[in-house]
């Protein structure tokens, strides 16, 4: 089982978008049974909240199914439990490394590291209001991540 955890600040916009996009990409490949895909936050600000309405709207616009969920915060145990811990921006990575006490196994990366835009950040639509741009970045990153994971098999 390949275990992927997407991370953003509040776990209601970018990381949930990535979770549902990746689940759909994996489903389309017929690999659902081979993956565990979840998301979490670095902060506690939105714990218990469902996916942001703007994220839901963008997912619907692209035919990506989603389900009700509650935002959760990353735990130290997640480092042991997941193979890939994917942040959306540089600040997420900074907080991930602090919360996880480093990354000795090289599990932590940014989503756009799996694209030609390695090192780039995915803008937070909570602040920009631009959920369509976030979707394009998330979709590109998830495509690249899935291709990378399948190459490693």
Q: What does the block give as tokens for 58?
A: 């963008």
Check 13, 78, 89, 124 and give the catalytic one: 124
Q: Which of 13, 14, 89, 142 is catalytic?
A: 14
Residue of 8, 89, 137, 142 with catalytic role: 8
In the residue annotation, 14 being an active-site residue is answered as yes
d(CA 138, CA 132): 10
> 121 catalytic, yes or no?
no
**Both tokens assigned to 148:** 């990378």
Assess whether 8 carries a catalytic annotation. Answer: yes
Assign 3-state DSSP to the chain and report helix, strand, coil percentages, each to 5.
Answer: 45, 15, 40
Closest CA to 58 of 146, 134, 2: 134
CB-based burial label for 92 (10 Å; 0-12, 13-18, 19+): buried
Catalytic residues: 8, 14, 124
């Amino acid at each position: 089982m390949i275990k992927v955890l997407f991370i953003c600040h509040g776990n209601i916009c970018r990381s949930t978008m990535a979770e549902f996009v990746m689940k759909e990409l994996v489903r389309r490949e017929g690999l659902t049974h081979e993956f565990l895909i979840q998301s979490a936050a670095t902060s506690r600000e939105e714990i218990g909240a469902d996916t942001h309405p703007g994220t839901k709207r963008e997912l619907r616009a692209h035919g990506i199914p989603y389900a009700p969920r509650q935002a959760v915060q990353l735990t130290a145990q997640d480092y042991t439990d997941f193979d890939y811990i994917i942040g959306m921006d540089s600040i997420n990575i900074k907080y991930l490394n602090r919360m996880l006490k480093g990354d000795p196994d090289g599990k932590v990366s940014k989503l756009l590291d799996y694209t030609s835009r390695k090192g780039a950040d995915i803008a937070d639509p909570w602040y920009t209001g631009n959920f369509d741009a976030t979707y394009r970045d998330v979709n590109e990153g998830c495509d690249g991540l899935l291709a990378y994971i399948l190459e490693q098999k």
